[in-house]
């Protein structure tokens, strides 16, 4: 099989573009999924396992759940939503009322949707 120089150059250029694009896409996906600190992932998994049993199966399911959430919610938004939840669960008081505004509800909804997706995918 004989390949013309022009066709070879075109194929190499196309392959380079595909590899570069795939690499950039992979980095974006990885950055979105890997932007959660290990400690935050571990904290989620420990809390999840406390409510779902201290088994290998629970470990796998809880790890799957935080990975699913991390893919759907950037860490910054996750951290804010977790803070809102903690402040709301701390009880009453005037400071807790500051976390019951529509902006807070929107942040919580994003997290709750990601958690629902994790429940369906992982449990």
User: Using one digit for the tens of pLDDT, what is the confidence trace for 6-16?
Assistant: 443 333 333 33
Neighbours of 11 (CB within 10 A): 11
Confidence (pTM)? 0.68
Q: Which of 108, 40, 102, 25 is nearest to 70 (CA)?
A: 40
pLDDT in tens, 39-51: 999 999 999 999 9
Helix, strand, coil content of the chain in percent (nearest 5): 80, 0, 20
Angle 35-72-49 from CA coordinates, rounded to 5°: 80
pLDDT at 92: 61
- Judge contact between 114 and 69, C-beta under 8 A: yes
pLDDT at 94: 65
**How high does pLDDT run on average in the chain?**
77
In whole angstroms, what is the distance from residue 9 CA to residue 19 CA? 15
The confidence band for 101, taking pLDDT boundaries of 50, 70 and 90, is: confident
The confidence band for 98, taking pLDDT boundaries of 50, 70 and 90, is: low
* 50 Cβ contact list (under 8 Å, min separation 6): none
What is the 8-class DSSP label of residue 81? H
Of all helices (H) and strands (E), which one includes residue 31? helix 5-33
Answer yes or no: is pLDDT of 52 > 50.
Answer: yes
């Amino acid at each position: 099989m004989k390949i013309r120089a022009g066709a070879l150059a075109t194929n190499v250029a196309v392959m380079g573009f595909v590899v570069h694009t795939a690499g950039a896409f992979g980095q974006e996906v990885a950055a979105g999924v890997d932007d959660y600190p290990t400690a935050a992932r571990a904290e989620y998994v420990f809390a999840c396992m406390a409510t779902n049993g201290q088994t290998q199966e629970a470990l796998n399911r809880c790890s799957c759940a935080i990975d699913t959430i991390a893919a759907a919610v950037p860490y910054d938004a996750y951290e804010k939503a977790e803070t809102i939840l903690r402040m709301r669960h701390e009880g009453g008081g005037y400071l807790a009322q500051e976390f019951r505004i529509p902006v807070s509800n929107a942040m919580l909804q994003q997290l709750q949707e990601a958690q629902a997706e994790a429940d369906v995918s992982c449990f």
